[in-house]
Amino acid sequence: MSRSQGPSALKRKRLDSQSGSLTEHESKLYDAIRSKTDMGMSLQDLRRETGLQNNLFTKAIKTLQAKQLIKEVKNFENKTRKHYMATEFEPSKEITGGAWYDNGQFDTEFIKVVKRELVKVIYDQENATLAEISQAIRMKNFLTVNLSDQELKQILDALVLDNEVLKVVSTGMGGYKAGKECYKCCKRREPNLASMASIPCGVCPRINQCTPDGIISPTTCEYFKKWLEF
């Protein structure tokens, strides 16, 4: 969900001229908030940073809000905490939770779709850099929202953790510059491993309580019974 940033340059100019009419406290406060760009600042942090007296501080905040120079945004990490940001910025993903949250809900389905598409793209190209993947995704045009490179990278990193995709550094031989990060699909391995995970004890939640002659024991174990049902 990339937020359009096009007209902001124009806007900024107008705002800058407006900020001239602010009092000393107000501009101090405004500068502090603006300096944090799309991250904004919480009330507590603002108070600490500006060091303004309580009543002056509250008044300045109110004025700035009234002049529509700053706005209050919801921080998804802590909804009760007041968070301010200059109006010209859209809250960053650290504040909203990013593309993966839909109205505060983690969007598992959406992630699943994006993951599947990314794997497809990488599989088709064998090796691909982030830029190439991003390009291919745009060309495919399957998403209603645009994912930034940063967001794509987040998904790719998750795929690496999923063991679906491998992050490799080019040696300079395969047409990429040496040291360039590429992604490629993992080789599908035969499941000859997982020797522990394929037996009941390997995944038993009660193995710590299991003793040879105890209430939970291998001879009376229900998991074993199920496993050995043919």
Site residues, other proteins (CB under 8 A): 36, 39, 44-45, 76-78, 94, 97-98, 100, 106, 108, 111, 154-155, 157-158, 161-163, 171, 187, 189-190, 192-199, 201-203, 205, 207, 210, 212, 217-219, 221, 224, 227-228, 230
Which pair of tokens denotes residue 38? Answer: 């799309």
Ordered DSSP codes for 152-179: HHHHHHHHHHTTSEEEEE--S-SSSPTT
Closest approach, Cβ 189 to other proteins, in A, equals 5
* H/E run at residue 41: strand 41-42
CB atoms within 10 A of CB 122: 24
Residue whose CB is less far from other proteins, 72 or 157: 157
- Long-range contacts: 155-159, Cβ < 8 Å, 24+? 155/111, 155/114, 155/115, 155/118, 156/118, 156/130, 156/183, 158/111, 158/115, 159/115, 159/118, 159/119, 159/183
